[in-house]
Amino acid sequence: MSTVKVMVVDDSPFSRTIIAEALTGEGYEVVGEADCLDELMNTYNKLRPDIVTMDIAMPGADGFECSKALRLAYPDAKIILVSSMKDEETEAEARRIGVAGYVQKPVEGESLKTVITNILSPDSLFNQLKERGFETFKEALGQNITRMIKLPAEFEPDIVSDKEYLSQGITVVVGIIGRYSGSMILDMSAETAEKLAEAVLRRPPKNNDEVLAMAAELANIVGGIACSMMNKKDKSFGLRVSPPSLFHGTPAQVVCPNLKIEGVYAKTDLGRIFLGVGFKKGSILWM
């Protein structure tokens, strides 16, 4: 295996030396250093390192701003924050930016090595989510359709797409947050939603609001149950669902940029229901 190339970003020459020595001591090649945003962008572009270590407190653009700019220009950049700060908000901010790892100062070679090894290894937890996540969401949808309308749902073949999806009329989007974040889309025609609402209420819906509320509730339940099922398989997923956003009126194109959506149509006697689920890798390894 070729040597892992690392770039060190820190405004303090002393810190850069300490971090570079710790990295070299663990067999990594320190290919470049930077002490500000401009130098970071130029040097990264020239050297394309495998890993960037990033100080948080720097004059001018701080480590968060530098990380944001780097990830905007190079979405695959793998950044390890190196800082003496370690609190809930610093962690949350790092997670939102998409930082890959975090090592607390004073830096030890061993901690850096553990985080770098983990970042560069295949992520088995994410692979598990990719392998079993979608099936779990399908299972939750199937169960709930049967429970609601007392009729079975039959699934058409799975579709994997990173293209837009054209809504059938009513789209519910549920955000998923946890160790990995993602989106769930549940979509059906207005007619199907109306029939489903009638089946659930055991009377015709009084108005469109009841129909929409049923669609939102179905999405909420399916998302919530599926996430609980995944969390039971491995509690470190820590998946939670956001309140649902409901789109209706005229059909829209639904796009989830940078997210590969696995989708399927569930066929029922009341119409077709589309389920789409996609997750994004953005795990953080803390040391």
Partner 1 sequence: MDVNMMNPILTAFADILPQIGFQKIEKKGVSLMGTTLTNSGVLLNIALLGQLKGIIMIGMDLESAKRFASKMMMGMEVTELDGLAQSAISEMGNMVCANACTQFSKIGLGGLDISPPTLMIGDGVQATLPVPQIIDVKFCVDGIDIQVYIGLVS
Interface positions with partner 1 (CB under 8 A): 65, 68-69, 72, 88-89, 92-93, 95-97, 164, 167, 171, 173-177, 181-183, 185, 212, 216, 240, 242-259, 278, 280
Rounded to a whole number of angstroms, the minimum distance from the CB of residue 185 to partner 1 is: 7
Rounded to a whole number of angstroms, the minimum distance from the CB of residue 19 to partner 1 is: 25
Nearer to partner 1, 248 or 267 (CB): 248
Nearer to partner 1, 69 or 85 (CB): 69
Rounded to a whole number of angstroms, the minimum distance from the CB of residue 241 to partner 1 is: 8
Rounded to a whole number of angstroms, the minimum distance from the CB of residue 253 to partner 1 is: 4
From the CB of residue 253, how many other CB atoms can be counted at a distance below 10 Å?
9
The separation between the first and the last C-alpha atoms of the chain, rounded to the nearest angstrom, is 25
Angle, CA 151 vertex, CA 145 and CA 152 arms, to 5°? 75
Nearer to partner 1, 48 or 280 (CB): 280
Rounded to a whole number of angstroms, the minimum distance from the CB of residue 254 to partner 1 is: 6
- Residue 234 CA to residue 223 CA, distance in Å, equals 17
Angle, CA 230 vertex, CA 225 and CA 234 arms, to 5°? 145
Angle, CA 180 vertex, CA 260 and CA 2 arms, to 5°? 80
Residue 49: asked if its preceding bond is cis (omega within 30°), the reply is no
Q: Which residues pair with 5 in a beta bridge?
A: 29
Nearest by Cα to 113 from 185, 25, 41, 189: 25
For tokens 């995944």, the residue is 230
DSSP 104-168: ESSP-HHHHHHHHHHHHS--HHHHHHHHHHHHHHHHHHHHHHHHHHSS--EEPPPEEESS-EE--
Nearer to partner 1, 267 or 281 (CB): 281
Please name the amino acid found at residue 111. S
Nearer to partner 1, 28 or 137 (CB): 137
Nearer to partner 1, 109 or 178 (CB): 178
Nearer to partner 1, 72 or 201 (CB): 72
Rounded to a whole number of angstroms, the minimum distance from the CB of residue 209 to partner 1 is: 9
Rounded to a whole number of angstroms, the minimum distance from the CB of residue 11 to partner 1 is: 20
